[in-house]
């Protein structure tokens, strides 16, 4: 027992915002949601926890999963022990689809905006709790390649609407990488892909070094890999460039066809917003075709602000039906936090209130309450100042919260209502039944 104060420290990696910042974040979420719905994606929400075996179904991410346990659980009670907080929205989505096969209409297009948790060391742009905005399309047997192009288009429209600093969406296709590496006779293409993905981090020399020391590749193989990784461009002409490297495999040409299709489909987007880049691989091993990764141009090492790709059978662990899909995720928290840190967010009011109704005196409370109610009835967000403080203090309250208008009910019988515009300082006679804000 103690009556000492607990320091109200924020928890590292678990961001929270002051009201005026949160208001901006809510507007972002609204904009993202509207755009997802504009393309016909429907919303689902899955529980924050999944069975550990679901979370572990793909990849070995066990170390970053937070597990659930009651503080006072009996020693022999492990009923919750098999639950973990989800670390992304794709795996829960796959489980959801597999579990609701009979209730869903396919191709199933869903969006999901939820928090996820990862037990990693927090850093700039790296959080332990953050919000992802996912869209995925999933369909039995096959998903049209059109979706591979539609998803980046949606993301492009959202990022444009949010007016983000310069960014680019990088595109690749796992089939190209895997086919190319197999065509080179590399035994472990998956591991080679993983190493190649570090290109922007450790550079071509570093990647070459790892490829030769860890995978034992020959000098020719290494230089071929690096030649491939160096190829990038905004249109399908890069397909020819890759072809000129002289490696042949069926998988490779399949990947090249797909990539060319996606690039051609997006050719109307502004120059540079979508680029193919052979050094992009994505760490997650369930991607099998198109992969996406977006970054800020000014802060390339900040990490990806958006990522996704195509997977042939993500739900394979949950059902025998073949359920390929393609999806993309916007890293809302990562993007938002960066803009906040760079001072690039324009914040306004800290509350949604349009009008503060002044309480002139305790005797006038009835009038003031009625005035507030009338304004609310006309669709305005209105709060009544509940203490008969000095008028200056009441105005100051409105001013500090960013409330644009202060309403003065009559201070004496027979006097008119007045409304003050805090932006201009102007104060005019007004009728609560007809007043319109500018």
Partner RNA sequence: GUGGGUAUAGCUCAGUUGGCAGAGCGCCUGGUUGUGGUCCAGGAGGUCGCCGGUUCAAGUCCGGUUAUCCACCCCA
Which stretches of the chain bind RNA, using CB under 7 A?
A: 4, 9, 11-13, 64, 88, 118, 120-128, 130, 132, 194, 197-198, 201-202, 282-284, 293, 301, 303-307, 329-331, 333-334, 390-393, 395-396, 399-400, 408, 411-412, 415, 418, 420, 422-423, 425, 427
Smallest gap from residue 19 Cβ to RNA (A): 14
Angle of CA points 30, 290, 205, to nearest 5°: 110
- Residue closer to RNA by CB (options 132, 221) is 132
Strands 167-173 and 274-277: parallel
- Residue closer to RNA by CB (options 236, 353) is 353
Question: Quick one: tokens of 213?
Answer: 């020391």
Angle of CA points 111, 112, 115, to nearest 5°: 160
Smallest gap from residue 120 Cβ to RNA (A): 5
- Residue closer to RNA by CB (options 78, 124) is 124
- Residue closer to RNA by CB (options 260, 354) is 354
Smallest gap from residue 389 Cβ to RNA (A): 8
- Residue closer to RNA by CB (options 27, 396) is 396
Cα–Cα nearest to 303, from 312, 291, 316, 294: 294
CA dihedral 311, 38, 133, 49 (to 10 degrees): -80
Q: How far apart are CA 416 and CA 179, in angstroms?
A: 80
- Residue closer to RNA by CB (options 153, 194) is 194
* DSSP character at residue 364: G
φ and ψ of 421, to 5 deg: -90, 110
* DSSP character at residue 296: E
Smallest gap from residue 317 Cβ to RNA (A): 18
Smallest gap from residue 7 Cβ to RNA (A): 8
By three-state DSSP, how is residue 47 classified?
Answer: coil
φ and ψ of 112, to 5 deg: -150, 120
């Amino acid at each position: 027992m103690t009556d000492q104060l607990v320091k109200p420290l924020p928890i590292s990696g678990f961001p929270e915002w002051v009201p005026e910042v949160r208001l901006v974040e809510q507007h972002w979420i609204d904009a993202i949601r509207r755009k997802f719905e504009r393309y016909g994606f429907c919303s689902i929400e899955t529980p924050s926890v999944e069975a550990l075996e679901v979370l572990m179904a793909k990849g070995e991410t066990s170390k970053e999963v937070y597990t659930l346990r009651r503080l006072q659980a009996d020693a022999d009670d492990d009923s919750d022990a098999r639950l973990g907080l989800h670390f992304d929205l794709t795996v829960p989505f796959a489980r959801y689809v597999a579990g609701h096969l009979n209730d869903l209409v396919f191709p199933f297009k869903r969006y999901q905006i939820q928090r996820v948790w990862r037990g990693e060391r927090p850093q700039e742009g790296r959080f332990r709790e953050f919000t992802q905005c996912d869209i995925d399309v999933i369909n039995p047997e096959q998903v049209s390649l059109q979706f591979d192009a539609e998803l980046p288009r949606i993301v492009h429209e959202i990022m444009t609407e949010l007016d983000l600093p310069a960014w680019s969406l990088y595109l690749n296709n796992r089939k190209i990488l895997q086919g190319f590496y197999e065509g080179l006779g590399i035994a472990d293409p998956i591991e080679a892909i993983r190493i190649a993905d570090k290109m922007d981090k450790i550079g071509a020399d570093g990647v070459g070094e790892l490829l030769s020391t860890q995978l034992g590749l020959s000098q020719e193989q290494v230089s071929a890999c690096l030649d491939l990784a160096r190829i990038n461009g905004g249109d399908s002409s890069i397909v020819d460039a890759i072809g000129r490297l002289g490696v042949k495999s069926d998988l490779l040409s399949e990947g090249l066809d797909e990539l060319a299709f996606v690039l051609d489909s997006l050719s109307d987007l502004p120059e540079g917003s979508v680029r193919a880049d052979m050094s992009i691989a994505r760490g997650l091993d369930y991607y099998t075709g198109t992969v996406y990764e977006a970054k800020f141009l000014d802060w390339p090492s900040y990490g990806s602000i958006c990522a996704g790709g195509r997977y042939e059978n993500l739900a394979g662990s949950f059902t025998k039906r073949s359920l390929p899909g393609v999806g993309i995720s916007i890293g809302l928290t990562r993007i938002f936090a960066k803009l906040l840190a760079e001072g690039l967010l324009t914040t306004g009011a800290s509350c949604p209130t349009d009008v503060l109704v002044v309480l002139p005196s305790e005797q006038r409370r009835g009038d003031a309450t009625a005035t507030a109610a009338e304004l609310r009835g006309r669709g305005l967000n209105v709060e009544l100042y509940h203490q008969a403080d000095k008028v200056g203090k009441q105005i100051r309250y409105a001013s500090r919260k960013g409330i644009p208008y202060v309403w003065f009910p009559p201070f004496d019988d027979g006097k008119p209502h007045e409304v003050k515009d805090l932006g201009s300082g102007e104060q005019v006679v007004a009728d609560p039944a007809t007043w319109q804000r500018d």
